[in-house]
């Protein structure tokens, strides 16, 4: 039989009744003789509740203490699930990330896993127990609790599967597959049967909620093809492949992200090294920068604009105000009413005209593009947030993603 790591998201364990359903599913796998490591998220809504409590106390909470608070959500879930499994005759034990010893760096709120000590897990598996591990969390070298960022339970699941050399990693979600876009925005969105590693990584990084970005970059020794399953049904297979056939459509999907903020520092002296003077302090604060645009005016000054996660906007503005004083810039402005929309597809490599078709479709509906970023297999634009759903529907239709089959030569 197989060693399987299963991850259950917040909606799958969102109530006592759903936890009971998960326990019965686990019991069925255990009855087949499989060794099981279960990773769970906090119950749906719990993380937001904890964030709200923290912000009621302090408008700008300390990140270390925030991780202490947020890690408790998963701790409740692992205890409840372990209790339920024991009550139906399945030997089980729960562990927090610190108890397993999931070691991370000290980047509170978005820590990265550095090492997992699997000895304790193997001992419990050898004893015939189902091991339940809190997702989304770990511990740094100083013993501080850390969290891996929103969606980090996916990362925990895949990382444990890699450390244990599991036969399979299954990610249970509230959707039944990877779609061309979010079906809640576009009803005609299609479920994909296959997607390349590159496309999955791009879609995850650009806002697709099926798989957290670091989880989609899974190690080669772990089979991660059952990435989308529901509790009530069996796994819906989505095959992650290195490459697909020549008949791969030009565009495979549309991703979007509402969690963006745009920062602009205006009137920056146009001198060598100024970009580093602006972005260096931001990066030093462990704030991830996404899209960047720089415009030089006739008076030899520049407006420098970039995007960050919306949660980092306040800290970034504070840093930029100090930078503006140091370099003699005119002002700093922030805008959180934006969103990023991206089209993704390996077929772009061999087809011209994709960008122009995207821009033409948006312009027909009066959607102004604020920023543009491209790579070989994606084009991203920043737009006003109020146009997000219209933009997604427009592009989904323009690239005929709701069609049963797509002619790869049609652009």
Domain ranges in the chain are 3-172
Mean per-residue pLDDT, 320-338: 95
Residue 169 has pLDDT above 80, yes or no: yes
Mean per-residue pLDDT, 390-402: 93
Q: Which pLDDT score, from 0 to 100, does residue 26 have?
A: 96
**Binning pLDDT at 50, 70 and 90, where does residue 191 land?**
confident
Find the helix or strand (DSSP H, E) in which 393 lies: helix 388-398
Angstrom distance (rounded) from CA 358 to CA 381: 10
* Count of beta carbons in the 10 Å neighbourhood of residue 199: 28
Residue 383 has pLDDT above 70, yes or no: yes
Relative to beta strand 338-344, strand 289-296 is unpaired
- Lowest-confidence range among 146-150, 168-172, 318-322? 168-172
Angle 72-87/16-31 helices, nearest 10 degrees? 60
Mean per-residue pLDDT, 108-131: 95
For the ranges 205-214, 299-308, 315-324, the maximum mean pLDDT occurs at: 315-324
User: For residues 71-87, b (16+ Cβ closer than 10 Å) or e, as one string?
Assistant: bbbbbebbebbbebbee
Residue 268 has pLDDT above 60, yes or no: yes
Angstrom distance (rounded) from CA 204 to CA 257: 10
Q: Answer whether 209's CB lies under 8 Å from 257's CB.
A: no
Q: Which pLDDT score, from 0 to 100, does residue 408 have?
A: 40
Mean per-residue pLDDT, 9-33: 94
DSSP code for 330:
-
Mean per-residue pLDDT, 110-119: 92
Q: Which pLDDT score, from 0 to 100, does residue 131 have?
A: 98
338 is written with which tokens? 């934006």
Mean per-residue pLDDT, 190-195: 76
Mean per-residue pLDDT, 150-167: 86
Higher pLDDT, 183 or 281: 281
Relative to beta strand 130-134, strand 92-95 is parallel
Strand partners, 382: 340, 371
In CATH terms, the fold of domain 3-172 is Carbamate kinase (3.40.1160)
Give me the DSSP letters along 180-241.
SS-TTT-TTPPBPSEEEHHHHHHHHHTT-SSS-HHHHS--TTS-----EE-SSS-EE--EEE
**Binning pLDDT at 50, 70 and 90, where does residue 183 land?**
confident
Q: Answer whether 148's CB lies under 8 Å from 104's CB.
A: yes
Higher pLDDT, 399 or 198: 399
69 is written with which tokens? 């608070």
Q: In the sheet where 168-172 sits, what is the strand order?
A: 92-95, 130-134, 35-40, 3-8, 168-172, 228-229, 235-236
**Binning pLDDT at 50, 70 and 90, where does residue 197 land?**
low
Q: Which pLDDT score, from 0 to 100, does residue 299 have?
A: 80
Mean per-residue pLDDT, 261-266: 96
Mean per-residue pLDDT, 91-102: 97
Relative to beta strand 130-134, strand 35-40 is parallel
Higher pLDDT, 142 or 224: 142
Residue 280 has pLDDT above 70, yes or no: yes
Q: Which pLDDT score, from 0 to 100, does residue 410 have?
A: 37
Mean per-residue pLDDT, 177-182: 79
14 is written with which tokens? 């969102």
Q: In the sheet where 289-296 sits, what is the strand order?
A: 289-296, 301-309, 260-269, 331-335
Tens-place pLDDT, residues 203-248: 766 656 555 444 544 444 444 444 445 555 554 445 444 454 444 5
Residue 288 has pLDDT above 70, yes or no: yes
- Lowest-confidence range among 15-24, 25-34, 167-176? 167-176
- Lowest-confidence range among 67-76, 188-197, 208-217, 391-400? 208-217
Q: Which residue reads 């070298």 in tokens?
A: 141
**Binning pLDDT at 50, 70 and 90, where does residue 350 land?**
confident
Burial class (CB in 10 A: 0-12, 13-18, 19+), 211: buried
Mean per-residue pLDDT, 356-376: 94
Tens-place pLDDT, residues 34-67: 999 999 999 999 999 999 999 999 988 899 999 9
Task: Report the chain's mean pLDDT, rounded to a whole number.
Answer: 86
* Count of beta carbons in the 10 Å neighbourhood of residue 45: 12
**Binning pLDDT at 50, 70 and 90, where does residue 298 land?**
confident
Indicate yes or no: pTM above 0.75: no
Tens-place pLDDT, residues 73-87: 999 999 999 999 999
128: left (phi over 0), alpha (psi -120 to 50) or beta: left
3 phi, psi to nearest 5 deg: -95, 120
Q: Which pLDDT score, from 0 to 100, does residue 267 have?
A: 94
- Both ends of the chain: CA-CA distance in Å? 47
Q: Answer whether 340's CB lies under 8 Å from 367's CB.
A: no
């Amino acid at each position: 039989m197989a060693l399987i790591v299963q991850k259950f998201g917040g909606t799958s364990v969102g109530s006592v009744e759903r936890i009971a359903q998960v326990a019965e599913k686990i019991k069925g796998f255990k009855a087949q003789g499989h060794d099981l490591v279960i990773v769970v998220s906090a119950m749906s809504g719990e993380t937001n509740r904890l964030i709200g409590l923290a912000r009621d106390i302090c408008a700008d909470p300390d990140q270390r203490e925030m991780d202490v608070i947020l890690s408790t959500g998963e701790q409740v879930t692992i205890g409840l699930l372990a209790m339920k499994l024991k009550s139906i005759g399945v030997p089980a034990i729960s562990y927090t990330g610190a108890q397993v010893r999931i070691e991370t760096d000290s980047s509170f709120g978005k820590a990265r896993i550095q090492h997992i000590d699997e000895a304790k897990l193997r001992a419990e598996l050898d004893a015939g127990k189902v091991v339940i591990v809190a997702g989304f969390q770990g511990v740094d070298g100083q013993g501080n609790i850390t969290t891996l960022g929103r969606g980090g339970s996916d990362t925990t699941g895949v990382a444990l599967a890699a450390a244990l050399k599991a036969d399979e990693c299954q990610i249970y979600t509230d959707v039944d597959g990877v779609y061309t876009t979010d079906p809640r925005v576009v009803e005609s969105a299609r479920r994909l049967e296959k997607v390349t590693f590159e496309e999955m990584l791009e879609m995850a990084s650009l806002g697709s909620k099926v798989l957290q970005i670091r989880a989609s970059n899974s190690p080669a020794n772990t089979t991660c093809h059952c990435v989308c399953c529901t509790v009530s049904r069996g796994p819906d297979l989505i095959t992650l492949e290195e490459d697909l056939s020549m008949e791969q459509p030009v565009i495979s999907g549309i991703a979007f992200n509402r969690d963006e903020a745009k920062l602009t520092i205006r009137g920056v002296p146009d001198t060598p090294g100024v970009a580093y003077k602006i972005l260096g302090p931001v990066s030093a604060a462990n704030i991830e920068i996404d899209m960047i645009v720089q415009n030089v005016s006739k008076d030899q000054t520049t407006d420098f604009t970039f995007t960050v996660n919306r949660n980092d906007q306040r800290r970034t503005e504070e840093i930029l105000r100090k930078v503006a004083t140091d370099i003699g810039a005119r002002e700093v402005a922030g805008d959180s009413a934006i969103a990023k929309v991206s089209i993704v597809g390996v077929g772009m490599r061999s087809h011209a005209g994709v960008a122009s078709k995207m821009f033409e479709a948006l312009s027909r509906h009066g959607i102004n593009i604020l920023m543009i970023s491209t790579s070989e297999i994606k084009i991203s634009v920043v737009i006003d947030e109020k146009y997000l759903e219209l933009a997604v529907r427009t592009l989904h239709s323009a690239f005929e993603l709701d069609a049963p089959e797509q002619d790869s030569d049609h652009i």
